[in-house]
Amino acid sequence: MTIRHLKAFVAVCENGSVTKAAESLHVAQPALSQTISDIEKYYNVALFNRINQRLVLTDTGKELLQKAKEVLESFQGFEDLATNAVDMPAVHIGMSLTIGTTDLPKIMRYIKNEYPFVKLSVTINNSLEIQQSILSGEIDFGIIEGNIVMPHFCCAEFKSDKLIIVCGRDFQIDSVIDVRKLASQPLLLREKGSSSREHLESIFKRNGISSEPIMESISNQAIIVAAKENFGVAVLPQALVAKDVQRGKLKEVKMLDYELKRTSFVFWHRNKKFGSTQKAILDYCCNAND
């Protein structure tokens, strides 16, 4: 049983005769009659009653006609999607929250200008979740800070940035502290799995320090607000808080012996097959900060 058989059956029903249906399908009448006969023999059902040289659908034929139309409609939807996928490529990019805030606008402008026909989807999540999404095939490629921890990926350096320690202007703390002093503060941090959290905790671990934040959030902005209200000390990307530091709304605290630098990467699954447009956008992102 094929789509051709279903089209033949529906055409005969809609035209009311094999002759007219054969003309509409541009096939020979005997061939179309044989197709209808093949369906009836295959399923051991009668689709039509032959009454006074007319074809009248049986009750079973009426039910099967409805199902045949549904199958053909679904198949047409498949063909439309497959055809349009060639003409309307899609790209799904995953980004960390910071990259999404600082670099997404530039990437979107490039795609809009160079590939206005592309359907763009962007997922913002922490670094670990983006890696999981690429591993499962939900995302084409990602841009995140920190280490790529899974062995299934290819990657290219995107840029380097700096984390800084900040607090409210009235928060009581020395202007320069060591790592143990930092760990003893009421910490305002991103959630586990985020690059900034993992970077700081790796420093604590190397120094044999254990510390729990008084607040953790998936939102950088929520942490900034809490820091401005003097609730504690935050470790955040410099690009996000530089203006608040310059305006005196936050104050920066230096840390002895450690510079909180990190590297961002563009990465993708090593077995991922990219279309030409997807590959061009990936290449742009890999070289966007050269």
* Domain containing residue 176: CATH number: 3.40.190.290
pLDDT tens-place string over residues 258-287: 888 889 999 999 999 998 899 999 999 999
At 128, list the tokens: 């670990």
Give the residue from 33, 59, 34 showing the smallest Cα distance to 46: 59
**Same domain (yes/no): 28, 115:** no
**Same domain (yes/no): 166, 130:** no
Percent helix, strand, coil in the chain, to 5, is 50, 25, 30
**Same domain (yes/no): 176, 247:** yes
pLDDT (0 to 100) of residue 122? 96
Contacts of 58 (CB under 8 A, 6+ apart): 45, 46, 47, 48, 49
Query: Which CATH number characterizes residue 154's domain?
Result: 3.40.190.10
**Same domain (yes/no): 256, 123:** no
pLDDT tens-place string over residues 146-188: 877 778 899 999 999 899 999 999 999 999 999 999 999 999 9
pLDDT tens-place string over residues 71-125: 999 988 888 777 655 556 899 999 998 899 899 999 999 999 999 889 999 999 9
> Whole-number mean pLDDT of the chain?
91
**Same domain (yes/no): 114, 53:** no
pLDDT (0 to 100) of residue 83? 66
Q: Domain boundary at 47, 64, 86, which?
A: 86
| Boundaries of domain holding 22 | 3-86
> Predicted confidence band at 53 (pLDDT cuts at 50, 70, 90)?
confident
Query: Which CATH number characterizes residue 41's domain?
Result: 1.10.10.10
pLDDT (0 to 100) of residue 85? 57
pLDDT tens-place string over residues 222-246: 999 999 999 999 999 999 999 999 9
**Same domain (yes/no): 78, 214:** no
Rounded distance between C-alpha atoms, residue 160 and residue 101, angstroms: 15
> Predicted confidence band at 248 (pLDDT cuts at 50, 70, 90)?
very high
**Same domain (yes/no): 81, 97:** no
CA dihedral 73, 79, 81, 82 (to 10 degrees): 160
> Predicted confidence band at 67 (pLDDT cuts at 50, 70, 90)?
very high
Q: Domain boundary at 86, 115, 149, which?
A: 86
**Same domain (yes/no): 104, 146:** yes
Which 8-state DSSP code applies to residue 207? T
**Same domain (yes/no): 166, 247:** yes
**Same domain (yes/no): 273, 205:** no
Provide the domain count of the chain. 3
Rounded distance between C-alpha atoms, residue 34 and residue 26, angstroms: 15
User: How many other CB atoms are found less than 10 A from the CB of residue 1?
Assistant: 9
**Same domain (yes/no): 117, 167:** no
**Same domain (yes/no): 225, 238:** yes
pLDDT tens-place string over residues 192-214: 888 889 889 999 999 999 899 99
Q: Is the pLDDT of residue 56 over 60?
A: yes
Q: Domain boundary at 38, 69, 86, which?
A: 86
